[in-house]
Amino acid sequence: MKLLRFFGVSCATCLLMMSNPLWATAMNPFAKTSTLPYELPDFEKIKDADFMPAFKTGMKKQLKEVDQIATQTSSPTFDNTVVALERSGDMLQRVSSVFFNLVVSDGNPARQKIEASISPLLSAHQDAIHLNPALFSRIEALYKQRDALGLDSESQQLLSRTYIEFVRSGARLTGPEKKRLKEINEKLSKATTQFRLNVLKASQADALVVSDKKWLSGLSDAEISAAESSAKARGLSGKYVLALQNTSTQPLLAKLSDRGLREKLYLASINRNASGPYDNRTLVVEIMQLRNQRAQLLGYTTPADEVLSDASAKTPQAVNEMLSQITPLAVHAARQEGAALQALIHEQATQGLGADFKLEPWDWDFYADQILVKQYAVDPNQVKPYFELNRVLADGVFYAAQQLFGLTFKERKDLKAYRTDVQVYEVFDADGSGLGLFLFDPFAREYKQGGAWMNTFVDQSNLLKTRPVVVNNLNIPNPGKGKPVLLTFDEVTTLFHEFGHGLHGLLSNVKYASLSGAHVPPDFGEYPSQYNEMWARDPMVVSHFARHYQTNEALPKELLSKVIRAQKFNQGFATTSYVAAAALDQAWHQLPASKLPTPAGVMDFEQSVLKQAGFGYAPVTVRYRSPYFLHIFSNGYSASYYAYLWSEVLARDTGDWLNKRGGLNRENGDVLRAKILSRGRSEEPNALFESFYGAPPDGEALLEYRGLK
């Protein structure tokens, strides 16, 4: 028998080495910087068993580095304290960026178990840094003399942001108060992680199982195939599984002809996590109690006050004012749309084409699509063949970026992502230099979080000499090998939206990683993504990508005009559903702990809030109900779900700015890049926008865009 060898060492020796912790650390794929282009993680070498050791070693190493910074005998300087802190924790950063990307986009039970274990440890690790009195003493001393240090503007910003971060994390608290804060943070970490895992598990467990294909009338062959594949993956051969997306209303409600099945799908969606083994109501109350305790410990009245003090909005009052201005306009428009849908139901009943019934939430999308066909002459199924995924990406999304910024994209099949169906592109600047990598993960799958998002595997930093590695995730049903992936116009828009986030990461050009790319408040972070949506309907861009996947025929201009005109239809519904969720978020986070409901009263509280805020129109459902509202109870948007609307004001003003200056051209792109996209948070968001736009945002363009003016 041949003796197994490892790098020329006999297997017996190898086993001894593997038992040595120092050897195990050295062999961990996160121990050193990846040697792949742009430091792309070497996914082929990474195993689930590597994560926990890398996390523990990475935390230990960073705490040692922090202790050296805090206890050094040299007087504090910007370089030996703030920059040194910025450089610390490289191994922990590497493992964190990979793990937390994978756990949401390519999760599995092993990774979920690791997440539940590591989250409270990471919370305690951050507390150990932020609550280190010797370290904060050095940072505070520098901050007090910041104007005399002669720092450049970005370094001045890093010093200010570091000081603010420490203060907001409790650095000024007394010893007993710090101990209490650590306890709160640990409990919050566990609760918010469990909330996310419960939503994922409930979305899987509560997916609708259909036993007979005939009930799926209205779905395309690709959608039926996806439902069949999903059932087979669960061991349910011969059946069909309709997966649940994050939102309250489900995309398939627009297509299913059987009203009874629509109702079942809708109820399965909205009742998630409100009962059974994955009931999140207790966690909702626990999270809000802990956030209130934390806010008050840090000197804030409510969690909303704490969060918004460091956002563009600054105060809960500013958010409430914006929502109260939009709400009546949105609800009025939704009621008008609902009346049209009810009239269509009645009309079809009088023609013997169906029953006459009261419009319900599970009917809205189904009849709204019929209005599109009848009133706007737009059939979504007529348009989809012109929107093939790869062509939209290459000839639409990438084309717009090339026209605006001079970027070019080359698929790198030699570079492997974490799955074979994830594409890797190298991005080149106008001068031909390598800018970064873009990973594209478009398909829905089991254990993948719903929705669409951007993240980074590597942040841009001139200090660390790193270039960005960005990923976009979507949740498009995979029709199967060899079949075309055809998009709805909404999915096309989402693709442009997420790539706007991607550009924010790719075009970053700052010195410090913590200020780079999309590391900005949520109410500014959604801004670049929302103005990038405009290219999805720009005639020049559309003419470049919208071609029939079989005939290569261009999308007729008349049909494009109808599609664009129809975008203002149903905006009452869309805006009302969104603003209701933003109002619900604020209600939870502006509520004192003494007034929190019991777990059994969570849903009653939700309904009371929505009714009082003016959302008492039953056919329109809030976009997320509390027990599965991931954004605010797990994903970092607590008291910040309003951000999409706040950012959209900036985005629509920017759209007007672009259109007045010729739209898609390099001159406009150079200004956007120089003043917004390259800057990260090297300056505060409000100042960045006003420097670019020349004035504060006014909101009129938003109302016009949504057809609410």
Q: Which residues are catalytic?
A: 498
HSE of 152 in the Cβ direction (CA atoms, 13 Å)? 7
Which residues face 461 on adjacent strands?
A: 466
Exposure string for 560-582, b = 16+ CB within 10 A, e = fewer: bebbbebbebbbbbbbbbbbbbb
**Residue linked to tokens 């664009």:** 564
| Strand-pair partners of 441 | 473
Of 556, 553, 608, 559, the residue nearest 580 (C-alpha): 608
Q: Around Cβ 433, how many Cβ atoms within 10 Å?
A: 8
Pair 125, 63: CB distance under 8 Å: yes
Contacts of 674 (CB under 8 A, 6+ apart): none
Q: How far is CA 388 from the centre of its chain?
A: 24
Cα-based angle 460, 466, 469 (whole degrees, multiple of 5): 60
DSSP class of 432: S
| Contact call for residues 515 and 154 (beta carbons, < 8 A) | yes
The dihedral sign for the CA sequence 591, 595, 599, 601: negative
Distance between CA atoms of residues 276 and 203, nearest Å: 13
Helices (H), 132-251: 133-144, 153-168, 175-205, 221-233
Torsion of CA 269, 271, 275, 281, to 10 degrees: 100
- DSSP string for 618-648: TTS--SS-GGG-HHHHTSS-TTTTTHHHHHH
Residue 362: in which H helix or E strand, if any?
A: helix 361-376
Residues 229 and 242: their CA atoms lie apart, in Å, by 10
> CA 30 to CA 41: how far, in whole Å?
9
